[in-house]
Amino acid sequence: MTVLPTEEETGLSSSQTMVDGGSGCPVLAGEDLSFSDISGNRDDDLDDLMQRILRRNCASVCKLASSRASDLRTVVGKIVSEVAADLEARMLMAAWDKGRANDPPSKGRANDPLSAWAAEILEWTGSQSLLSTTGSRYSNDSASRPLAADYVTPFFESFMLFVAHHVKAHFSEQAATGLLKPEDCRLILPVVNKDMEAERTDSYSSDYVNPADFVSVECGMFPLSCSVERQATPAPHLIVADVEIVGHPDDFNKAELRLATKTKALFFNQHNRRFAWGLTAFSCTIHAYVFGTDGIWASTAMDVSSAKGRRAFISLLVDWSLCSVDRLGFDPSIRYVVDGSVGGPYLEIDVHEMDESTGKVELHMYYSQQCVGAADRLTGRRARYFAASTSRKSMNTPAFLIKDMWTASGSGSAGDTRESSFLNVLHAEFDKSSEFSGSFSRLVSAGPVYISRGNTLVADSTAMAFSRLPSTTQGATKGSGDIKGSSSSNAQRSSNSYVRQHRRTVTKWPGYMISAADNPSQVIIAVADAMAALSAAYAKCKLLHGNISDQAILLQKMVGGIKGVLADFDYASYAGDDADAVPELMLFQSIRSLEDPKSIRTLLDDCESLLYLVCWLGTFGINQAQRAAYAARHAAGLEPYLPIMAWNQGAATDIANAKRTHMDTSRSFTRDILNRMHDNDGPLRHLAEDIHRALFLHPDCYGADTIPNPISDQALREVNMPEALCEALQTGCTRDPLVLRNDNDNVVAILVNLFDVLARHRDVALATLGAAAANTAGGAEEGAGA
């Protein structure tokens, strides 16, 4: 279950409530480690992403934070002018003081924090124009040479503190205007803890020895009552943006990659993020970044060595302090509430439904203390899952599962509209079935997320969120899914990003994600049940799932035992239809769907995805504890690079080639996959071995790799391949076993064998759980007797 921030972490008492626009943001920490986080993302993958969807020098980036209301923008503009004028005046006095070394500054200026911060900003920016104006003998060449990151960091923070002091003073000196209220604003302050890293061996100046090449700091938001000073690490929901400060121009791209990595973690931990901000700083140059679902935008340079650049950065910080939370990238339809009377913080989630008879939008409120599936992607639909209830008192026993996602728009794209229709078909067919009733998630409602614009509710979309920004230079093809690592990197690309709709789907509570399993036996029962349900859906409705993954198979723990539930039908289709949408996560996709996203899917593709899921769970662990243990060993250098990681890195063709190599023979599969499993000699290894044998070692379509050249008799005897395959290989003809596998006779034979394998393993798992329960009961009786 999700661990929520304590009152000490939030800085709020149990009676306080954080509403949108306040100092807090409605976010919970993620429950689980994501698969992509476990395997890591190579820098060249992120570099490819940045090259494809990052648009630089966008003058409108910083305007995204400004208010929509002209009268409010006028108020903000006055504050910005006041801050800028005061900073220039105090920097001028600081330059004068530096030029008169024998005449120290007045006692008032020496004890004034604003003057001290201004002097530090002068030291950082090296404003020669101010120094020359005062006739100062002091010289600072910081504007003409690279500055070490750890040298720049305290000055960067002083700039933030200077602006925050003025924002706080504005509300303490003036009565509320009605346009700005203290509870709707915040202080943007630097966080004390810093992530410093030195990677280069050369120093940039003889003045600095062994400087830190990178320093990561964070911008946090705090109530106006907070002291204007560097803050201790706040609760995760209080982080506004990551800042990457870099010390050498050659490392600037790496700083952007670090920023992308930290921002991905921000999406994972803040479950109400619509988009995210970020900053980079090199010497005196600052860039702001906006991370959207299908694009990343970088602002024009803010050169704080000039008055114009300083004013631009001041304007951004003031806008962040006074704007509505949706301008900060948060979702105002999900609110974080602290209430000790219900056992701690929780999320208040708006779900809107359209009344078909009246045409009006009705609001339904849900409450959640558990995020059972966090967004683990930097781009794409960023699906999140919440265990929810319609009552605060029953949050510990959720009755609903809410899926929040950004889905591609258009009639042919994946989304909750498709999922709704498929779920309705399944329930019509199986509600009266004694065997499969309850095997599919049950739809309650589905529709757009609405955000208030004055007195009007507006459907949220990327078009609305990023209307002030230009299209990315290269976006994804409609329906192609996630940019990073998606098949769009090898398929068509359009010149503009497509529009995504922000939507929410509510289903009856079907169970927890498969990561809630206590042991491998529970996992096996869940996947066997889910695949049996899929087989029935295919037999009765000709329905294919298209996205078998850890989020598609749910675990329902009942009094009578364990049951698997099939969910997440965003990418489902009918047999024979072209695949018009490709899942974002390629980790579990079949080889054929990776190589040709438009290929006609078969039930074998879903079965192949199951094999990859079982292998991944067996390698990295079935639950959070096991995955965290692996991640810790990997971070400490105790775990080698595993071949299976190639399933989650690079372009679609790279992943497909890796899977062909690993799946080709029993020897390659054992060497590269089975022998590297965490569950080295356990039930998941044996299940994976049997599924692989059924899918890839069938005599008439043996293997996974294409064989373009003839192979000698000696070689064939060494690998012990079936006779039919030997004849084909000896002729030298090109042969793709995955094409042969789709022959109707082969499909039937493989599926019959495969589902028999799943049934047998399920029986063994049930027996194992029964024996464990009997042993536990026996031990309890012995203890009672004693």
Q: Confirm if 546 and 571 have CB atoms less than 8 A apart.
A: yes
- Report the b/e string of 148-183 with b at 16+ CB within 10 A: bbbbbbebbbbbbbbbbbbbbbbbeeeeeeeebebe
What would the mean pLDDT of 428-457 be, rounded to a whole number?
A: 87
Residue 111 has pLDDT above 80, yes or no: no
For residues 275 and 210, the model is more confident at 275
Backbone angles phi, psi at 177, to 5 degrees: -80, -10
What end-to-end distance do the CA atoms of the chain give, in Å? 35
In this prediction, residue 173 carries a pLDDT of 65
Class of domain 345-698+741-771: mainly alpha
What would the mean pLDDT of 167-191 be, rounded to a whole number?
A: 79
For residues 655 and 630, the model is more confident at 655
Contacts of 503 (CB under 8 A, 6+ apart): 404, 405, 406, 407, 415, 416, 446, 447, 448, 449
Closest by Cα among 551, 183, 171, 254 to 386: 551
What would the mean pLDDT of 709-717 be, rounded to a whole number?
A: 47
Residue 764 has pLDDT above 90, yes or no: yes
In this prediction, residue 109 carries a pLDDT of 54
Closest by Cα among 278, 281, 406, 272 to 346: 272
Lowest mean pLDDT across 242-246, 319-323, 573-577, 608-612: 573-577
Q: Which two tokens stand for residue 547?
A: 């996205």
For residues 361 and 210, the model is more confident at 361
Of the pLDDT bands very low, low, confident and very high (cuts 50, 70, 90), residue 498 is: low
Residue 318 has pLDDT above 50, yes or no: yes
In this prediction, residue 698 carries a pLDDT of 87
In this prediction, residue 404 carries a pLDDT of 95
In this prediction, residue 782 carries a pLDDT of 55
Q: Which two tokens stand for residue 360?
A: 């009006």
Rounded Cα distance between 249 and 233, Å, is 29
- Three-state DSSP at 333 gives coil
Of the pLDDT bands very low, low, confident and very high (cuts 50, 70, 90), residue 434 is: confident
Most confident residue range from 11-20, 402-411, 418-427, 673-682: 418-427
- The DSSP symbol for 474 reads S
Residue 285 has pLDDT above 60, yes or no: yes
Mean per-residue pLDDT of the chain: 79
Q: Which two tokens stand for residue 56?
A: 């630089």
Q: Confirm if 124 and 181 have CB atoms less than 8 A apart.
A: no
What would the mean pLDDT of 707-728 be, rounded to a whole number?
A: 51
In this prediction, residue 449 carries a pLDDT of 93
Q: Which two tokens stand for residue 141?
A: 């060449």
Q: What amino acid occupies position 413? A: S
Please state the domain extents for the chain. 28-328, 345-698+741-771, 701-736
In this prediction, residue 646 carries a pLDDT of 92
Q: Which two tokens stand for residue 467?
A: 């209307």
Angle between helices 520-541 and 744-785 (to 10 degrees): 140
Lowest mean pLDDT across 5-19, 245-259, 545-559, 640-654: 5-19
